[in-house]
A and B are shown apart, each in its own frame.
Chain A
């Protein structure tokens, strides 16, 4: 309990955990898990692996860039905010870090329905880094090492299982030192064969100011392990000196007057409501479009934009694809005391002098000075269909990938994968079966399932429209969906588990109290004259039913029944949301159950689909062979699968399972437990 209190009060007391560890050398020769990379994916992966109980080493080029926000100074939003809430429900870092570092909080989509509310915050870069570093360096079982990884160590493929490698560790650049580990999580972001683009200049690297990563890693992945890689691009806008911008010419955009914390563990944010900084909104002008067109020949990154993403990551693609329109530019603070502004929407890759000309076409920035020019990055990603739903490389045991290396974009997407890869890396190291999150229970599940079963051809970003069960996957109930599961996996602290159990019980009590309040429709009409209560089937309506009405709030009911309901005021908003959404969630329950069952039916990864003795067309066999779905559920979602093929596969799985059961029964006498492969086949979480 005391730990919970300190955690809760942490942001308010302005204290970070004391940093006690050194980062210049390692204490062990062997770790359970090594995480390569200290970005959003890497930090969540390392912290999660350590929480689950693995001896973990985080290797990063520079300790002081751990937790750096390389691009926008913000966290959350619509879809992305959902991810942050889920990461927090699994005790990840970014939600709490956001509460610590946020300087402008707002809930997007406030008027569009709680399922699509998007918690978002502008962040102070310095504070964010501070928090993440302090957390990592004080996490038990987690060590941090500054260094560059030269090579990934893998075994030759097992002759009995063709194409199957096993990871054994890493070799560092300086002095060729090797460190061994059962699992390695690669979160190298844009550094895998990364190139930086400004105007005509192209230089190797993944982020400006940082040394390029060694080519050894990329080589191991491509040549040694034979992984298919693709190339993606991203970019960042120039940073502008705040003093040089005439903010009176931009529209002030204030934060919410009451900041809502990201974390289920926080009741307040570190930043006081009145201390929050505003953002500003301004627009592009025809002059901006002119500058882009005039400088196209100087713009290497854009010239290569032959097959770019469907959306428009840079100002160049915006004005080229949607000419003659004005586009929004948000001017966002970079920190509490920073003298820079981040012009969101102006990512560009032209030469610096043209960048200056361009931004000065915008009235508010007509005298603006650029502190750091914008630039583009092109980098390799590993086609994520080669991963399992645990984010493990299918042909290499113990190797996990997370973040931009899998073709995603965004901090939240990276963090979500990192956390899940970290959990699974630790489970692998401890010989536990992989843990899988379903797309029916979380956005993290949607993200991972989309990646591993469909792949990407543009940087993947989360949108709420990707979630077919959007009405149940809400930011408000992420804890109810995930915390218990996280706790069973061991990745949730006892403080969070206790708090969760308290909340869950209280919510149940409150719902029970609401259900216990039953009146006839006429009775309700008398008590609440303004509400047009309709008739009900069985003659009476409960408080929960009434709460479904648009104009009925929990507060209204509580004022009518203070004795029964006033103890539950803490949850008034959650109860209202639950009451409105429950009928809709119930409707999709059957579909959810179906998908979950199918997701629990695993297809062995080494199946030879061409010789499988079931009736499948050649076309279907090719599809299955190409995508190698991990579960029957993933197989049914593949394009080109026929219903008959799915039924035949089902038959096959059932017969295989029956055989396996019989085999186990006959082996039970002389063999203890089952091999890892068998466990992996029946991948499911402890119930």
Chain B
């Protein structure tokens, strides 16, 4: 029998990794967290933004692990003496390499075991602007032995150290679920852009490299593997290495990811989605007409809801259409829904059956078709907006508003009329509190964290490719190991690559007999 703590670390890591297995739909693979390299070490020191996102005065960056003191020494100029434990100090926080001052803030030092994780821990309380946070996180990532934390990792370490009680342990699964989901959505946003295509392309090329080295190892003695297979791998690895290193050097490149809670308006055609967008941003940002299918592309607006940044997107109405442009619009709408932190499902209330139970059933079915995610809608990730209530008889309106509240499986329901603004105030209150809850979660809408993670994985990838060259001529098994590790590193961004996938490429590219 193993002590719980001994087992859990591994399980957790495996748990993260399984997210990236083959055949899992792409959207669920993207946040594949871990693999062999990070599996190397609990000895790793992790860091993350621990405070909420959005308009905040102070941001808290937490660091936990053996190198936490290194961060203190090289980033706040405490070379000789560590500060007294658990005492706030006001210091300048500098980049360890350029020595540039990044911010001035409070520094706290929690020596093990008296910290949340039971490990040596440091907290930086810095100014809440995104530029400052990004700079500090990037600086931390450049300290040897440090990497961005995976989902739930601080809690997991606390669990490891016996700092959590049983009820908290039971919540660990939910926590990891929530955090991996948040990472997934964030990664998905990033991956659908140019950067995502770049990473996918690297992953694809690296997979081919590995498949060809593996084919050469496993089959070249029996089968006819054309000459020059390895030469082509050499060229590919060389190019990849150069491209990744260049990418890592050029920090300004890469796309600017928009911050904020991503709220997507979705639903059937003519439900009044664009009207809702216009109502919310108080200007006619989207064209509104009684013609179904007016909105064909995604219309995006940045909003401030109760002081929190929100990126609001209006999407094409979901329906099967023979029109190619509209089909593309619907595809984009579905993509947006998958990446959304919060989906506002707008329904034309006049089409609902007047009987409440039936209406509930219709809405449940409708939700399923809009959200299309295999899992049930997470609590707090979806609001149901019944529009056009001005066209309903008073009695039915009341029945709906009371009756639907008790229907299980339904998210919060708001009855509004974009035409008359009826119910809008209540809806805004619900929306604001939902957004507020989301902003308390440091992971939602924080592209800097995703970028820091990607950077760390790319660095691992580049380092592993160097191993290919070190052994290229003396030991192909060890050279291949370098490519494997590189792919594992990159796989933590683009999705894990299994042995079967490599075999697929081998059998497609080479004729392998029995």
Contacts and interface: CB of A to CB of B under 8 A. Distances in A.
Given A345-B513, A597-B2, A647 B176 contact: yes
Contacts of B21: 637-641
A30 interface: no
A647 B224 contact: no
Nearest to A281: B224
Contacts of B395: none
Given A312-B511, A640-B21, A465 B214 contact: yes
B512 interface: yes
Given A588-B36, A591-B40, A594-B9, A644 B173 contact: yes
A321 B475 CA distance: 32
Interface residues of B, number: 69
B176 to A, nearest CB: 5
Interface in A634-687: 636-648, 650-651, 654, 657, 661, 682
Contacts of B478: 113, 115, 471, 580-581, 584
B39 A590 contact: yes
Contacts of A321: 511
Chain B contact residues: helix, strand, loop or mixed: helix
B398 interface: no
Interface in B1-26: 1-2, 4, 6-19, 21-24
A328 interface: yes
A594 B15 contact: no
A257 interface: no
Contact of B224 (A79, A108, A327): A327
Contacts of A311: 507, 512-514
Contact of B217 (A116, A345, A639): A116
B499 interface: yes
A565 B208 CA distance: 44
A142 B11 CA distance: 43
Interface string A273-308: 000000000010000000000000000000000000
B1 to A, nearest CB: 7
Contacts of B223: 328
Nearest to B14: A636
Interface in B219-260: 219, 221-224
B86 to A, nearest CB: 31
B217 A637 contact: no
Contacts of B15: 636, 642-647
A646 to B, nearest CB: 4
A234 B36 CA distance: 36
B308 interface: no
Contacts of B180: 642-644
A645 B19 CA distance: 10
Given A113-B471, A347-B514, A647-B172, A654 B477 contact: no
A389 to B, nearest CB: 17
Contacts of B177: 642-644
B170 interface: yes
A637 B217 CA distance: 25
A647 B11 contact: yes
Nearest to A463: B218
B24 A598 contact: no
B375 interface: yes
Q: Which of A116, A466, A471 has the most CB of B within 10 A?
A: A116
A139 interface: no
A77 interface: yes
A118 B219 CA distance: 11
B169 interface: yes
A610 interface: no
Interface in B397-426: none
Contacts of B477: 112-116, 464, 470-471
B503 interface: yes
Interface in B458-481: 471, 474-481
B323 interface: no
A385 to B, nearest CB: 15
Given A463-B503, A590-B39, A650-B11, A639 B471 contact: no
Scoring B19, B170, B479, B511 by chain A CB atoms within 10 A of each residue's CB, the highest score goes to B511
Contact of A651 (B19, B36, B170, B508): B170
Interface in A426-480: 461, 463-466, 468, 470-471
B24 A639 contact: yes
Contact of A591 (B8, B39, B219): B39
Contacts of B172: 647, 651
Contacts of B22: 639
A632 interface: yes
Which of B216, B222, B475 lies at the interface centre, i.e. has the most chain A CB atoms within 10 A of its CB? B475
A409 interface: yes
Contact of B476 (A116, A468, A591, A615): A116
A310 interface: yes
B435 interface: no
Given A617-B375, A643-B33, A598 B11 contact: yes
Interface string A592-629: 01110110110000000000000101010000000000
11 contacts: A79-B218, A109-B221, A310-B507, A327-B513, A347-B514, A464-B214, A587-B40, A598-B11, A645-B15, A651-B172, A657-B1
Interface of A: 77-79, 108-109, 111-116, 118, 234, 283, 310-313, 318, 321-322, 325-328, 330, 345, 347, 409, 461, 463-466, 468, 470-471, 550, 580-581, 584, 587-588, 590-591, 593-595, 597-598, 600-601, 615, 617, 619, 632-633, 636-648, 650-651, 654, 657, 661, 682
Given A118-B221, A640-B24, 10 more contacts: A116-B217, A311-B507, A327-B224, A465-B502, A470-B481, A588-B36, A597-B7, A615-B173, A644-B176, A650-B8
3 closest residue pairs by CB, A with B: A594-B10, A643-B15, A644-B177
